[in-house]
């Protein structure tokens, strides 16, 4: 997984200020590097993923936050074989379904909102997203609210979405509040 360094750091810092414990999850366990080519004058940053996305146990999390990246491996790598793409899609759908059914808070900000929308986690729920996401006809089951920059919807705010990382602090506050309301089915 690649990630956008400034976005990751802003969201992580805001969540940590609120007392959240952060576990980095990626498509694989090990080092994950930011996409420096997307960020002017910044050196790539490396973080350590301790859990592989396909191995998430819902009972271990109150919230899962999807952050922006330039090429989301939750969809599939652009050069992946058709079989690898299908496997990644099936894993993503399975994990998101398990998390949703276990009442874990699912949150996404910026272009990461597409992951939750594409895998039907936001169907019939209000959400905020960038125009390129909200305009997609295959995502019409989502109740897009472009007038709000941060939207919490579903039971007790189970789904939290934000238009862009410009609202990272208020997004983090909503994720933290929603996660505290969760009574995960362990």
Q: Three-state SS for 65?
A: strand
Confidence of residue 164 (pLDDT cuts 50, 70, 90): confident
Determine the structural domain holding residue 19 and report its residue range.
5-181
Residue 113 lies in a domain: yes
Range name among 65-69, 76-80, 130-134 with the lowest pLDDT average: 76-80
Residue 29 lies in a domain: yes
Residue 186 lies in a domain: no
The number of distinct structural domains making up the chain is 1
Residue 73 lies in a domain: yes
Assign residue 17 a region (left: φ > 0; alpha: ψ between -120 and 50; beta: otherwise): alpha
- Looking up residue 27, the CATH number of its domain turns out to be 3.40.50.880
pLDDT of residue 70: 63
- Mean pLDDT throughout 32-46? 66
The whole-chain average pLDDT of the chain stands at 85
Confidence of residue 76 (pLDDT cuts 50, 70, 90): low
CA distance 3 to 11: 12
pLDDT digits (tens, 9 = 90+) for 92-132: 999 999 999 999 999 999 889 999 999 999 999 999 998 88
- Mean pLDDT throughout 63-73? 77
pLDDT of residue 147: 92
CA distance 71 to 61: 24
Q: Which helix (H) or strand (E) holds 89?
A: helix 82-101
Q: Considering only CA atoms, which of 135, 130, 132 is closest in space to residue 149?
A: 130
Confidence of residue 186 (pLDDT cuts 50, 70, 90): very low
Residue 107 lies in a domain: yes
CA distance 157 to 136: 24
């Amino acid at each position: 997984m690649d990630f956008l360094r400034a976005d990751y750091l802003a969201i992580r810092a805001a969540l940590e200020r609120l007392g959240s414990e952060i576990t980095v999850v990626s498509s694989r366990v090990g080092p994950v590097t930011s996409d420096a080519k997307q960020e002017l004058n910044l050196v790539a940053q490396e973080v350590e993923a301790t859990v592989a996305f396909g191995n998430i146990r819902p009972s271990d999390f109150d919230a899962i936050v999807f952050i922006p990246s330039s090429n989301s491996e939750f969809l599939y790598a652009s050069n992946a074989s058709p079989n690898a793409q299908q496997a990644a899609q099936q894993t993503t759908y399975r994990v998101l379904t398990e998390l949703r059914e276990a009442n874990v808070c699912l949150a996404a900000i910026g272009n990461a909102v597409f992951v939750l929308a594409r895998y039907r986690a936001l169907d019939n729920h209000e959400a905020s997203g960038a125009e390129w996401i909200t305009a997609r006809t295959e995502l019409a089951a989502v109740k897009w609210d472009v007038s709000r920059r941060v939207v919490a919807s579903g039971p007790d705010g189970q789904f939290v979405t934000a238009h862009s990382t410009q609202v990272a602090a208020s997004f983090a506050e909503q994720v933290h509040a929603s996660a505290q309301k969760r009574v995960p089915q362990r």
